[in-house]
Structure 1
Amino acid sequence: MLTIQSNVSLKPYNTFGIDATARYLVEVENEEDIQTLLQLPNAHTSPMLILGGGSNLLLTQDFNGLAVKINLKGIQVVKEDQEHVWVRAGAGENWHGFVMHCVEKGWAGLENLSLIPGTVGAAPMQNIGAYGVEIKDTFDRLEAVQLATGEKHIFTNADCRFGYRDSVFKNEVKGQYIISSVQFKLAKQPTFQVSYGDIQTTLTQMGVKELSIRAVSEAVIKIRRSKLPDPAEIGNAGSFFKNPEIPASQYEALKIQYPAIPGYVINDTTVKVPAGWLIEQNGWKGKRFGSIGVHTRQALVLVNYGGGKGADIQQLAYKIQNSVEEQFGIRLHTEVNFV
């Protein structure tokens, strides 16, 4: 039976640690709970906020609606052949925990995505990615319940329309579904992606002689821990901004003015520029404004040192966006969703 709580602090439900209040909160443990939820009188009239791990969320004010915490658990092998295994996980499974399960089993494809905060259900919404790998590379399908009808729908890889930190769930069908489970197609024989970032260097420092799924995962974890603050210690949502993709002609022009500007060629016409570098050039790295600020080791990360307001972090983000655009002619876009 569902328990509806009133006037609940959402501080434990978001990694920024913002102390905003939800008018109502309910936690769903299974698909039956979702159906019961949709029968509630205010399910279709009140605003609804779907909560996974709360790691991609900035609460800028109290939420005058129904917050729904997704707790659906379970990991199972759906099928397998000589080369691949198809694994389904409940939307409420912790993402890093799921990745570690796959690493332990020797299933390859997700090891570069180790230690990313959040839940399995939220991962395809954002098409999370790191170190040359994105969810879309191993994603097979997901199941989701349509809020308006209660019907279950299957979304294939193509249906999700994955883009850079983007999917159909952030656009055409935003707010229309609750994802209940996600299925991945993982490899029994790994193809390692170690050329991106500091992975190869870190593997060498670790003394790794022979590549393995576990070694790559451990290298990624080591890198992330060295660069990114632990939300349990300092409130944050990881990378706050996307790395902008700009026309190659614009990049070449910037290169003349700023010879040190880094860039990663996407194709003949597009170059990706590290947002952290752009922000750091504007002097934001390590800046603190009372209880909020920009992290000392990674300019991409905005932080709440304790007691910070979401609206203040939002305003800081706007100032950073404006300063980068004024200097470089590049408008940064956020990865984090504002509520």
Structure 2
Amino acid sequence: MSLVFQRNVPLKALNTFGFDSIAERFVRLESVDDIHALHASLDENPSPLLLIGGGSNLVLGRQVPGVVAQVAIAGIECEELGGDRVRVTLGAGEEWHSSIESLLRQGIYGLENMALIPGCVGAAPVQNIGAYGVEVKDRIEAVEVYDWQQRRCFWLKNADCEFAYRDSVFKRHYDRYLITRVRFLLSRVAECVVTYKPLRDAIETGLEVSPQAIFDAVCRIRREKLPDPVVLGNAGSFFKNPVVSMSQYETLKAKCPNIVAYAEGDGFKLAAGWMIDQRGWKGFRQEGVGVHEHQALVLVNYGKGDRRQIEALAGMISEDIQVHFGVQLEIEPRFYP
């Protein structure tokens, strides 16, 4: 069966910022055969290609040239490895939060700290998503990719994914690898991670610390502090938490005794949201966009915003932080085109 390309397709529902954007051509990829067919089509008619899942880490322009291909490969497989270990393989098109809920119901644990992060499974390794003390790299065994250069699918082991803070080989080479499936090593025995005090505080007093309690607490915290993209367009955390050297941290600490930071290797990871908040940006609005009133790390679309407005606001914030703290903020989402 040949691929069906649609023309001039609105992408408003396929980017969590909710920007009005039009794809010149659009196609859904539901299998590896579809990927091969797309590759053959691009050989015949070379065009720019944007691969998307749920559009949760993307800032789109009004017109997207070439082809937009939504990776919609489904599937969930669970393999008991003996003892308490379970190998779980998820299709890249599966919804992330729903997958965690499904695994919890089956008594399979390890992803609950990352509940309610928007997007699809295939996007998780790209950003090396993480929350409340757990990064997805801590749970991934391997990632299956389609290599556009080699024209074939194969598995990359965890070590070959080059995971780093909100980074991976997939993010650095987004034009080479298309993620088709992700394989996780999880457990039927709870290994609760409650290193973050806000998470511990959110677990109801007297309640046993369990994967379900962590899941519920994470959902409660995120709903209280972060806007639902369905209600208020956003891409989650817009800036990375910058990592600075020990000497730079000590200089900042002398200047700002209350600065929020965490030890990270030989240096410190600074809370970008704290710095943005200290500079008075929380709740700021300009044109159709702004900074969320409860979380300074989240830039939002109030309904009439666009890429140009978000780019301008992000630039203003970055420049302000650079001037007053001497720290360069790095943007998390990808801008396209």
Instruction: Quickly name the TM-score band, shorter chain normalised.
Output: over 0.9
Tell me what 1:164 maps to: 165
Taking the TM superposition and a 5 Å limit, the aligned residue runs for 1:69-148 are: 69-148=70-149
Tell me what 2:8 maps to: 7
Whole-Å Cα distance in 1 between the matches of residues 101 and 81 of structure 2?
19
Whole-Å Cα distance in 2 between the matches of residues 143 and 41 of structure 1?
22
Name the SS for the 2:249 alignment partner: helix
Tell me what 2:202 maps to: 202
Tell me what 2:249 maps to: 251
The two structures have a TM-score, normalised by structure 1, of: 0.96
Taking the TM superposition and a 5 Å limit, the aligned residue runs for 1:38-77 are: 38-41=39-42, 45-77=46-78
Tell me what 1:188 maps to: 188
**Counterpart residue type for residue 321 of structure 2:** V
Asked if structure 2 preserves the Cα contact closer than 8 Å seen for 1:247 and 1:270, the reply is: yes
Alpha-carbon RMSD: 1.3
Tell me what 2:232 maps to: 234
Asked if structure 1 preserves the Cα contact closer than 8 Å seen for 2:30 and 2:74, the reply is: yes
Whole-Å Cα distance in 2 between the matches of residues 316 and 307 of structure 1?
14
Deviations 1:148-171 (A, max 9, x none): 443112111001000000000112
The two structures have a TM-score, normalised by structure 2, of: 0.96
Distance 1:43 1:83, change over 3 A: farther
| Pairwise CA distance, 1:79 | 4.0
Name the SS for the 1:238 alignment partner: strand
Higher deviation after alignment, 321-330 or 103-112: 103-112
Q: Which of 301, 316, 320 is the aligned partner of 1:304? A: 301
Tell me what 2:278 maps to: 281
Asked if structure 1 preserves the Cα contact closer than 8 Å seen for 2:20 and 2:62, the reply is: no
**Counterpart residue type for residue 178 of structure 2:** I
Tell me what 1:338 maps to: 335
Share of identical aligned residues, percent? Answer: 44
Deviations 1:98-151 (A, max 9, x none): 111121122221010000001101100110000110011010011111224431
Asked if structure 1 preserves the Cα contact closer than 8 Å seen for 2:89 and 2:182, the reply is: yes
Asked if structure 2 preserves the Cα contact closer than 8 Å seen for 1:60 and 1:314, the reply is: no
Name the SS for the 2:195 alignment partner: coil
Whole-Å Cα distance in 2 between the matches of residues 60 and 335 of structure 1?
17
**Counterpart residue type for residue 252 of structure 1:** E
Q: Which runs of 5+ in 2 are unaligned?
A: none
Q: Does 1:23 align with 2:21?
A: no
Name the SS for the 1:77 alignment partner: strand
Q: What is the number of residues matched between the two proteins?
A: 335
Distance 1:94 1:50, change over 3 A: same
Asked if structure 2 preserves the Cα contact closer than 8 Å seen for 1:125 and 1:168, the reply is: yes
Tell me what 1:294 maps to: 291
| Pairwise CA distance, 1:43 | 6.9
Q: Which of 221, 224, 236 is the aligned partner of 1:223? A: 221
Whole-Å Cα distance in 2 between the matches of residues 257 and 35 of structure 1?
56
Asked if structure 2 preserves the Cα contact closer than 8 Å seen for 1:294 and 1:301, the reply is: yes
| Pairwise CA distance, 1:207 | 3.4
Whole-Å Cα distance in 2 between the matches of residues 168 and 178 of structure 1?
11
Name the SS for the 2:237 alignment partner: coil
